[in-house]
Structure 1
Amino acid sequence: MTAPHVTPEQVWAALATVPDPEIPVVSVTDMGMVRDVSVDGGHVTVTFTPTFSGCPALHVIRESIGEAVRALGVPEVEVRSTLTPPWTTDWIQEDARERLRQYGIAPPAPAGDSPLITLEADPTRCPRCGSLNVRMTASFGPTLCKRLFVCDSCKEPFEGFKSV
């Protein structure tokens, strides 16, 4: 049995269909998690960086990436994770930021060039009504990468990404 010839572009296109397991409106490529794709005959290696080193969905991401590449007919798929360089919210694609907002999650402000986490975050805008009249209700949301807020204008609770 001969392995089909796949190109890196085909692999990237397949990975663009792999949803983030916690936010189904964005893919792992939208979030900037996929760092590299290499194709060597019937062997494909995909390297990704999780959003947080302790991400509870790490195994789901790894399995989903492998399944998407195998669906192209690739017999040998290696999925590697790397923490260097660490993931940053600056890697989230611009159109994905808008989909996050429409989904009800405040997208992160740019993290910038500083290697440090900013303690004083930029103002968070309500993803539902656009108001800056919001208050944080919890530093940690359902995942470590988000905070919980409530909008004092429209009274709706929402999650907001931390800028890292």
Structure 2
Amino acid sequence: MKESFAPILKSIFEKYGDIGASCHLESVVMRSYYVECVCFVVQELQSTAVMDLTKSKIKELLAIIKDVESAQLRVAWLRSIVDEIADSIELIDEHQVAEMAKANSDREVETLNKELESSLESLAQKEEEVRDMKTRIEEIRKRLSELELRSSDLDKNIMLLRSKVDNLDSKSLLDELV
């Protein structure tokens, strides 16, 4: 047994009893190896912050626990802790994914709000241009109507004057001169 694992093994035995009592391995070397594996998992968990544990590291630790369980060492307490950590890491990952999705959504909302604001400004400008154009069209129609009326009056006047001019007998006027 590695000396560095002695304090960990002592704590395990004090808290959980002899975890190797029901082990079916006959070789002391193999039994010690599996107990060291348990101590290794505990040491990894103690020396690494939960936020720094990766899914692959947890998967590796769970594989070690599974192998140790196959040798019938009593490590249900350790599996429970690692399972809980795995759930926590999954929640942390889901939280990070949700945070990124929220940030992306917020950026998209901001972009669309700016686009909407720009489009509304453009629409307001075009609506003002339409109002101005309608006013101009009305003014043109009014002026056109006035000019058409004047033209009609002028046509009438021209016709009247032409009729008078046509009726004039230019010879008779000259005849009266002398």
- TM-score, structure 2 normalization: 0.19
Greater fraction of residues in helix:
2
Which structure: greater strand fraction? Answer: 1
- What is the TM-score normalised by the length of structure 1? 0.20
Max Rg structure: 2
